Structure 1
Amino acid sequence: MLATVVSVLVLATVGTGLATGAPAPSPQSASALRPAAEAAAVTFSDDFDGPAGSAVDSGKWQIETGDNVNNHERQYYTAGNRNAALDGQGHLVITARRENPGNYQCWYGRCEYTSARLNTAGKFTTTYGRVEARLKVPRGQGMWPAFWMLGNDIGQVGWPASGEIDIMENVGFEPSTVHGTLHGPGYSGSGGIGAGYTLPGGQAFADAFHTFAVDWSPNKVTWSVDGNVYQTRTPADLGGRQWVFDKPFFIILNLAVGGYWPGDPDGSTVFPQQLVVDHVRVTTGDSPATGGPITGIGGKCVDVAGANTANGTPVQLYDCNGTAAQRWSVGTDGTIRALGKCLDAASGGTADGTLVQLWDCNGSGAQRWDANAAGDIVNPQANKCLDATGNSSANGTRLQLWTCSGAANQKWTVTR
């Protein structure tokens, strides 16, 4: 335990580097990633709704304080809402600042930076399921945001015997790449087992929100970014070393500044920097994957925009790509589901032009659909058909309710 940490937890290494030379598997279809949506249940969810400036929900999160000598990080993690606060627009903002108003002391002397680190220890743990967050990372040399998990028995067995699952880490000198890593006994720190995922075309992760997730089941952990699977790990990857990922883990969000892996900030680093969190969600799912694409006019697929699981996310047409955002399960209850949520007529609308969206499944008529043999997908409450707006097959075409006409933009092929 770090004596400098005013917390019930060890400030264990935040995956001090993935295995050097570890292969980075190519992204693949997420078709085998998600369990059947109808078998999933949300076990933890925080959409960070609340007044601007307010602290996180203390019923879900605790805030760690102190520094981290293990990684030679430069920040001091503060309490309260100074460095971790809601923005009033449905986000948690973790802010790293170059300051020390509290005269905090770090392993190297007077601390140069402040930031925040939150965890769910003592409030929520999970064994298996889908663990995801939609995040926008900071940018700049020395920035080190992370979304990860630790074994709940860390207080008894220590690290790395507790196990660590790094769902997403980004270091500022790699703006286009994130890493997912396992740490355990005999494969920790720079010897962790993992891989990276790189955005195409030189895009930076700091430019937009992205959804980072692991799908975790007995003897298997699979990582994805925006529904694109980029690595799967099983005990076979450990070379006979102990697999310690079949027990409860808790969740951590933090923004570190400096350290062995990212290096320290330099003259190019602008402060403050922010890790913006749209949501954190954990869902269960214990049955084999089922369902598949729904295709319509122009051969395009029904798609959840941006693979975003937030309520109200548009449902649109898009080029078929095999990701989880295009994998739909038709339930015996009349629901059509993707990413653990339901296809929904906005605000329960029944008029022509009512847009459809993704929403928490709630059993309402707005989420009941009849996919019939004629190729129609009908909402019985409205007695209207699922319709591609404007008879268009362009990427991004919104889907809506419209009076059934038998036109091509209302015909769908459902893969069951």
Structure 2
Amino acid sequence: MDSSRPAGRCVDAGGGTDGGTPVGLRPCDGSLAQQWVARDDGSLIGAASGRCLTASGPSARASLSLQDCTAGSGSTQGWQLPAQRGLVGEVTGPGGRCLDVPGNDPTQDSVFLYDCNRSPAQQWVSVGDGTLRVDGKCLDSGGNPQTGVDAPGIGVPQLPCSGASTQQWVAQPGGALVNPVSGLCLAALSGDLHAGVVVDTCSGGAMQQWHLAAQTQVRGQLVGIGGKCVDSDVADNATVHLWDCDQTAPQFFNTNGDGTFQAQGKCLDTGATAPGSGVIKNPCSGSSTQQWDVQPNGYLVNVGAGNVLDDQFGSTANGNALQIWSVNGGPQQKWSTPLRAHLAGS
């Protein structure tokens, strides 16, 4: 999850990962130091460190820091997040194509139309604050961030979320997406593949018609021992391993409530059901070995095998392979999963 945004600032660990690292509010920049994963026990895990957001005490003005997560520390490590009832899904536009980030690359700033394929680059989040977000960035109308002044024809990028007026969008009943300050509408240059997206004078025309397809979905990184992320190559049967969390597409998993974890269009899978079987990514097939049950204590239980996701030998080295194994209570079997995004009316 992205951290909370009071006055355009985010909860930030300042790039530190050690226990005791101070945590404060800093301008939102989309960095890993501002990414947090919520667990069902109320703890917030720093994606970069694997440590818990911790208050020095229960009193007002208590300082915040990163500390090792400790069971039963609800008074200092338990947090209540505001319920966000929003939408997650594809933004479908002219030609039936979807608003997309080129190359499925979260470092890209541009957006265009592409064939809808349910990839992470097409999963836009609207949580009710007026923004449209993908890959940790916000759709921006390209104008002056202080005044919101735009001109028809300005290209629309996706930029680090800043709370600027240029990142506000209001959906109209007729399908238009309007920046409320400039009064301009999101418009595609055509319905063709790779067509660019701009803001333009609202006309009600076909190039300004958009639809957010609502899908219940959780999206984000799976963070394990040592603050490392679940990662893999894109090929079928690719071995799943630990790697430094780096915000790349192979580390962003989607789940729509069917028990699967999907990255780059493939499902987290295990080739067999015996303890010690390797974890891989395969085309989604509906197999029980692609079903995972998220437990409140941090375990990810493979439904087909009855064993849990495990980091072999408890190593935090980049490239260390993952497997399924019987429950042993070790830190190599505890995983932070992303905060659920809820649909309005669900």
TM-score normalized by the length of structure 1: 0.37
| TM-score, with length taken from structure 2 | 0.43
| Larger RCO, structures 1/2 (Cα 8 Å, 6+ apart) | 1
Larger radius of gyration: 1
